[in-house]
Amino acid sequence: MKSNTSDRIKISPGFWEGIRQLGIADHEVARIAQLPLTFITETVVTQSQYLAIWQAYSDLIGDTAEGIIKMATFYETTKFPPTVLATYHARDYRDALNRMARYKQLCPPESLQITEDGEHCLIELEWLNKDQPGPPLLVGLTLAFLLELGRRGTGSPLKAHYVEFSQSMGDVQALESYFGCPIRMDASCNRLTLHRSDLDRPFVSYNEELLEILTPILDQSLNEQKQSRSYAEMVKWIMKRSLTGGRLDIQTVAKELSMSDRTLQRRLTDENTSFKQLLTHARHEQARAYLADPSLDIKEVAFLIGYQDQNSFYRAFRLWEGDTPANWRTEHAIQTR
């Protein structure tokens, strides 16, 4: 199953609570990741920010293996987001893994490839952006959680057959004890091999009624994501989050999308738009949204959408709306009373 690339990644509110339960301050994660504290309350981040958060957690926890095992085992089932709840309450282990691979498409940047072969089931982790793989801890945790899912769902102490990592994962003995099998480092891929017979084990957490509610909603979200995703949409989304108080150029946005500025411009041209056009649209839309908030004065609005000079904002707004920001705000306020 291949996923569509997306730069918008959802962060479950339970993630930060799980971090705190491990004795790590969320503000320390934000500091090391070089992100503002406001990101602790964000539900959606860019791919670069997402990977920076995981690298910060890894730096704070110390040994990679310790971080993998702690997060996999300490995270409470009640904190799972809907995409994971749909796997935890699946009919059996096979159903859970297939759901996990499917709904991973809703939360990149990784994807899972599942192959049943003979007595084994091979699950390979792949990064949607080959040039920006996740930190080792995130790799290890992803595979550990797949086994943890089977253990919690079946209520049995399942063991893997074999685990392969392309990078060093810290304390190998600790990981072998956790997975219950040999661990190979410096492999050509990141792969978890399970005993195929375990896939038929029923889940004691099976909840048919909950699945009848969650499945249609998640499937609809997946279909909508596939239909609506465009580079123009992603670029404008990043712009709106990055406009405040400075010059925003295509190199900065391209870096967030892990591609060159030439590649990004070519993708936008294919979608019949340009970086300059999208920047104008993003500023225009944000200006209207901010002006609708009476608590913001016009000078603040100019700064929030990236204008250091208030007169430049006035000239731009006249081109967009044919009126001054003050008049537009007054008319808008009258219309919405």
What's the start-to-end Cα distance of the chain, in Å?
50
User: Of the segments 1-10, 27-36, 239-248, which one has the largest average pLDDT value?
Assistant: 27-36
Answer for the pair 67, 53: CB distance below 8 angstroms, yes or no: no
Task: In whole angstroms, give the CA distance from residue 155 to residue 214.
Answer: 23
Q: pLDDT tens digit string along 77-98?
A: 777 788 888 999 999 999 999 9
Helices (H), 42-113: 47-61, 64-74, 82-88, 93-103
CB 65 within 8 A of CB 174: yes
Question: Virtual CA dihedral for 245, 249, 255, 258, nearest 10 degrees?
Answer: 130
Burial track 59-79 (b if 16+ CB lie within 10 A, e otherwise): ebbeebbebbbbbbeebeeeb
The token pair at 248 is 């925003």
Residue 319 to residues 17, 63, 109, 289, Cα–Cα distance (Å)? 47, 56, 39, 17
Highest mean pLDDT among 32-41, 65-74, 77-86, 197-206: 197-206
Residue 87 and residue 7: Cα distance in Å, rounded? 24
Predicted confidence (pLDDT) at residue 129 exceeds the cutoff of 90: no
206-262 per-position pLDDT tens digit: 999 999 999 999 888 877 765 556 788 888 888 887 787 567 889 888 887 777 889
* pLDDT, tens only, 278-315: 999 999 998 998 898 888 889 989 988 988 888 999 99
- Full set of structural domains in the chain with CATH: 63-226 (no CATH), 231-335 (1.10.10.60)
Listing DSSP states for 170-218 in one string gives S-HHHHHHHHTS-EESS-SSEEEEEEGGGGGPBPTT--HHHHHHHHHHH
Residues 6 or more apart from 51 whose CB is under 8 A from it? 109, 132, 134, 135, 138
Burial of 295 (0-12, 13-18, 19+ CB in 10 A): exposed
The pTM for the full model equals 0.65
